[in-house]
Structure formats: C-alpha cells, structure tokens
Amino acid sequence: AQSVTQLGSHVSVSEGALVLLRCNYSSSVPPYLFWYVQYPNQGLQLLLKYTSAATLVKGINGFEAEFKKSETSFHLTKPSAHMSDAAEYFCAVKTSYDKVIFGPGTSLSVIP
C-alpha cells in the first residue's frame, strides 16, 4: 500500500537559516508527489508538485523539492527561512487507486 512519512512532526529553524522538511513515500506506480502548506486557521494550498518531469521542482515562496527515486524521497527545502514561513507542511502522494494521500504533516517554527 502506498504511504507517506514525514520525519519530524516539528521543526524549528532560525530566521535566515536553511529549511529542510523530509518526506519519504512508498508507491507501486510512478509517483505524483505534492507539498502543501497550511497557515493557521486556513485550508491547504499547493507549494509545488512533481509529475515525472524535472526531478528538481520549484514552487512558490522560494521553496523547492527534489525527487530522488533511489531514496524514495521528496524533501522540501528553502535556502533562507522567513518568519512568514511558519506553518504546517504536508507531503502527499497519488496512489495507484487514483487518490491522493497526505502525510501527517510537519509544523515549522521560525525563530527570530
């Protein structure tokens, strides 16, 4: 069965520091992978998605993610954290049953 794991339910970084949020997936089919962000009291919004084109995917707000098939990973990065990046981040994968499942989420805190 397909699944998504996100290492670290909570990550804290200093403002200006590198952001790295980890995502590993299992999928029996070529994956479609997504990162969504949820700000407090809001719905989720798409940051970026991988659909078997370039392995390095650039998204909104300076985020990017790299698809690594050998590691079954799709980690999210941003070179320099901003206070406004504080939010919950969800990795998601499309399953062979034609639906998207979400990981448990990682809460990102940015320390001034």
Partner 1 sequence: DAGVIQSPRHEVTEMGQEVTLRCKPISGHNSLFWYRQTMMRGLELLIYFNNNVPIDDSGMPEDRFSAKMPNASFSTLKIQPSEPRDSAVYFCASSLNQVTDTQYFGPGTRLTVL
Q: Where do contacts with partner 1 occur on this chain (CB under 8 A)?
A: 32, 36, 41-46, 49, 51, 90, 94, 97-105
Closest separation in Å from C-beta 42 to partner 1: 6
Q: Residue 45, SS3?
A: strand
Q: Min. distance of Cβ 112 from partner 1 in angstroms?
A: 27
Question: What DSSP state is assigned to residue 44?
Answer: E
Of 9 and 80, which CB lies nearer to partner 1 in the complex structure?
Answer: 9
Query: Least distance (Å) from partner 1 to the CB of residue 17?
Result: 27
Nearer to partner 1, 81 or 90 (CB): 90
Q: Do 90 and 24 contact (CB within 8 A), yes or no?
A: no
Task: Return the C-alpha torsion angle 56, 37, 69, 25, nearest 10.
Answer: 180
Identify whether the C-beta of residue 99 lies closer than 8 Å to the C-beta of residue 33. Answer: no
